[in-house]
Structure 1
Amino acid sequence: MPAPSIQARRERFRALHAQGCFVIPNPWDAGSARMLQGLGFQALATTSSGHAWSLGLADGDASRAQVLDYLRTIVEASDLPVNADFEDGFADDPEGVAESVRMAVATGIAGVSIEDSTGRADDPVRPIDVSVARLRAARAAIDEAGGDVMLVGRAENFIVGRPDLEDTLARLAAYSEAGADCLYAPGIHTREQISAVVAAVAPKPVNLLIGSASQLTLEEVKALGVRRVSVGGAMARAAWGGFMRAAKSIAETGRFDEFAHAASGKELNEFFRKARAD
């Protein structure tokens, strides 16, 4: 059966946001993307942190060229629509963001997220008017390319240490007005925060990040009105956790017990052979 076209993937991605709630896990390489598809997930999202760690870099230190290569890898690795964690668009000014977004769209992604963070500890979030101008530029770049890629507006307040809910709501409403198709405030976690974000941008869909242990189930999140759930770098951190436990056990105690928790090589080989044949 031939792989679905990029256009078909984009149409499917938009349809997924129309009702219900789905999980969009974050692979960091081709193998993890294929495994997640094989497990039945309906869409994927890239992870800036997971990708950076796979290159031996800290989150945020990968270049635009490296991230674009990563987007192409994930798009080509599976048949699923892919949302790009595109950080701040790799530019300060709207023109630069538009240029970057055009490059990202050309990789075959179905969605692209643009952050309003600056990467500076002393001034971590851009002013709303600046962020709106950047999102409008991203929207225009997408529309010029056909308009079928979803734009995700991100308000980074909570994740950069400024947990101001009112400012977050104002930002998300402004980003929605600027043309964002889906809104996202990573770091919110209480029912009250989630409900407030959903109400502020309704009827547009909201992405919720669950990147650490949460008492909320998928059904409970769905009941709060969330349309999609991503996990950021958590899948990569889980993999790194197993790797580090095994490596430390060998280095520090000379024991190999942690390999008892490793995946079966036979199972992995069988899965990837079948995935390639399909």
Structure 2
Amino acid sequence: MTHPALPPLRETVRAHGLQASKALGQNFLFDEQLLDRIAALPGDLEGRAVFEVGPGPGGLTRALLRAGAKVIAVERDDRCLPLLGELSEAFDGRLTVVADDAMAIDADALAGGPYHIVANLPYNVGTALFTRWLEPAQWPPLWLSLTLMFQLEVAERIVAKVDTSAYGRLAVLAQWRANAKIAMKVHRSAFTPPPKVMSAIVHVTPAEQPAGVDPRILSKLTEKGFGQRRKMLRQSLKGMAGAIEALEVCEIDPTRRAETVTVAEWVELARVMSK
């Protein structure tokens, strides 16, 4: 596939007088080789629908379009819309730009069919969006994969193993019916302006959902359990109806703390409470 000849993104951003907004959690990536590597992580995107959050001036968007994707990009920063509009024209309309807040958007409805989610997520809404995408009642979900940039600390929490300091609710939600891995680390110097921390790209694909488990109950259980992670389970879960009884049925010691409970044990607790 031939691609339109575009000026370097850094030049385009400079020409539009655009600077990253701290209030919107923006950090721009200009390295085209790095962006192409990120766009390759979901696999072959030729003709595939891709949902992107917070494209900013469109660095990753360019890479996704070069990979052959049909991109739906949600951007709330009006300053970026002219650049994205130019990009849509250059790629013959394969880019659809939605000027809105991603937290208010139904990605499934916009995509209308199977799609990938690829995004350098704004730091201030990244975790909230991620947990939303992990919690749909329908499973497997309509999305085929998540390829998401996070602060390295958050990425490590997503893939953390039980009984470690990073292990918590994010790990359980990401691992109980999906496969999550850190696909790439990205140095802070790759961004403009450089953030204070390192970043990493997490790649998530759906797995088989354990039978008999209501995702809403698992979500609530982990919210309660890890909300007071230093307390014993009998304390942190006591406000949730049926939780203490479920501990007994599952033969889980109520004096344990949430961070010692494996993903499989959380799932079994939720299964008992789902009956």
| TM-score (norm: length of structure 2) | 0.28
Select the structure with the greater relative contact order (CA < 8 A; seq sep ≥ 6).
1
Higher helix residue share: 1
Structure number with the higher strand fraction is: 2
Bigger Cα Rg: 2
